Chain A
Amino acid sequence: MLLNVGPQHPAMHGIVRIITELDGEVVVNADVEIGYLHRAFEKMAEQGGYLQVIPYTDRLNYVSPLINNIGYCLAVEKLFSLETTERAKYIRVIMSELSRVTDHLTCIGASTMELGAFTAFLYFIKAREYLYELIESVTGARLTISYSRVGGVKGDLPPGFKEQCLDAIKKTRKEIKEVDALLTKNKIFVDRLKNTGRISKEDALAYAITGPFLRSTGVDYDVRRATPYLVYDRFDFEVPVGEHGDNFDRYLCRMEEMEQSFRIIEQAFEQIPEGPVLLDTEGNVMPGETMVDEAKMGRIENIRNAEAIVDPTLDGTSKVQYRNVETTNKRASLPPKEDTYGNIEGLMNHFKMVMMGHGIRPPKGEVYFPVEGANGELGFYIISDGTDKPYRVRVRPPCFTIIAALPIILKGDTLADIVASFGSSNMIGGELDR
């Protein structure tokens, strides 16, 4: 019998269609159809400047947007061969790990709710709220954060953040412990997850699956370990691995990874130095108060009598029209918001970054930069042709490969196991369909 699961199904958190072929209750074949949330991210990234891609990356994996932000900025920084400041690196690590925990909380919470454990969902959403409040206090938004910049991060951590963060971690740990007591030895829960959604080590690698999903099969591949980026090589943390590659091992892996993320954050707070958090493309420190636009400083005469012609749609004008205002100093990052709104130099700096034809220009070339997303390896492949627009931005979405392997994961399980297996695959529509 053919049965259509999705695209909108109450027990599936994500818009995806699974066409299953059933023999009684057993799935003999499955065909997965995706693309319901396709927003042409890669096409739109080619239309604007490098910095204008950053808000789009928030909407890739919308459960852990900070990791996407930071991954994209690291890829552009690799094009420039730019190293950020020490403090910015630590801030990025702390924010990435907070994001990873919120992602795992959502994944476990939602997938257990689909299996009927509604209490665990409420506890985890409560715990996620503690962390979202932290993220909001740093970035100003809960989800659409756009926090990372090429060259660093938008702003420094707010005062008292360390204490708030450690307090939130303490409270989140308590919730996790409570859910652990409710679920991990719960017979109903274990029976639903054990030996369902199994995948072998070889199959997982053949399908290029990464992240907790791969680690549950016993492979200890973690980008933070294999090719350390930022300052991940300075922390003492473990990469939890499973054994059987089934839904239960994936649950255990995610639970343990949250604890390891907390450990990384705690160590980061001990090591984090003071200092600036933003750099320009030439690697110079750019504190907000001394930032002065060269055009404003030195070449006022040229601007005073020039007539500015602005396109009515504000869709940018050609470089020729603004030849007089062009600065020689190509800055990479947007100024802090208080400067944009507070003084004319900051406003001009912002304007020149954002207007078409004035953005940052990485040298010609191509780079691939992988980071460890919450679902696995998140890679950005960027081709620069030397202009202010990226020529091609390709995202390697981690859950794309997991969903590609879904037919072999579901095969042989019963219809009811689809919910459990799909839940543990942690499909995020924004990242899958881009």
Chain B
Amino acid sequence: MGNLHIQLKERFPDAVLETHAHKGDETALVKRESLLAIAQLLKTDPLFDMNVLMDLAGVDGLDLKWKPRFQVVYHFYSLALNHRLRLKVAVEEKDAVVPTLTGLWPSANWFEREVWDMFGIRFEGHPDPRRILMYEQFQGHALRKDYPWNKRQPLIQAKAVTSDQ
């Protein structure tokens, strides 16, 4: 096997913008519009058979002057074929929305909540779009490069248990 990024490029010549295999990690940068279609194919096509969404992370490219500013990085793993593929989607700050993959891989649920919490990237169609590590009243998104690492915010009161949760 191998060369999954090139095979993906052949399948989606327009949607795959960039590919590389730096240090053996096969990577494809894809268009946001085609993310769901590509993800669907990765999961169902026997060539890819990506049944595990291992990791999902956000990256803020502000200091590197990336255009668009943010990237969402997906790490897929296929248990049966024992191969990995990294998928990246770039989004603008003003329009920081990515379709959710929760329907395909439930593990995306908490990972996407974390990216929303830390980077302020919204996942369209997410069933439970709350913050996860920080509290709801927290101002800003901590892992953005323009959020100072030593900024302090007042702590808030404990949340009551109510039946509408």
Contact = CB atoms under 8 A, between A and B. Distances in A.
B23 A219 contact: no
Question: Interface SS of chain B: helix, strand, loop or mixed?
Answer: loop
B75 A381 contact: yes
B133 A208 contact: no
A125 B13 CA distance: 58
B137 to A, nearest CB: 13
Contacts of A385: 63-64
B64 A368 contact: no
Question: Interface SS of chain A: helix, strand, loop or mixed?
Answer: mixed
Contacts, number: 96
Interface stretch (B1-9, B31-39, B91-99, B103-111): B103-111
A221 B134 contact: no
A122 interface: no
Given A35-B134, A208-B54, A47 B149 contact: yes
A239 interface: no
A367 B135 contact: no
B35 to A, nearest CB: 18
A365 B25 CA distance: 10
A44 interface: yes
Interface in A35-71: 35, 38, 40, 42-44, 46-47
Nearest to A40: B142
Interface stretch (A145-153, A348-356, A390-398): A390-398
B75 A219 contact: no
B79 A221 contact: yes
Interface residues of A, number: 45
B105 A392 contact: no
A400 B82 contact: no
A2 interface: yes
A19 B161 contact: yes
Interface residues of B, number: 38
Contacts of A329: none
Contacts of B100: none
Contacts of A35: 132-135
A341 B37 CA distance: 59
Interface in B113-129: 118
B55 A394 contact: yes
26 contacts: A31-B165, A34-B132, A35-B132, A35-B135, A38-B133, A43-B143, A43-B147, A46-B149, A78-B23, A203-B106, A205-B52, A207-B107, A208-B53, A208-B54, A219-B79, A221-B79, A366-B27, A367-B23, A368-B25, A368-B86, A379-B75, A381-B57, A385-B64, A392-B57, A404-B110, A434-B133
Interface of B: 22-23, 25, 27, 51-55, 57, 59-60, 63-64, 73, 75, 79, 82, 84, 86, 105-107, 109-110, 118, 132-135, 142-143, 147, 149, 161-163, 165
Q: What are the 8 closest A-B residue pairs judged by CB atoms, nearest first?
A: A208-B107, A35-B133, A404-B110, A394-B57, A396-B55, A38-B133, A365-B22, A4-B161
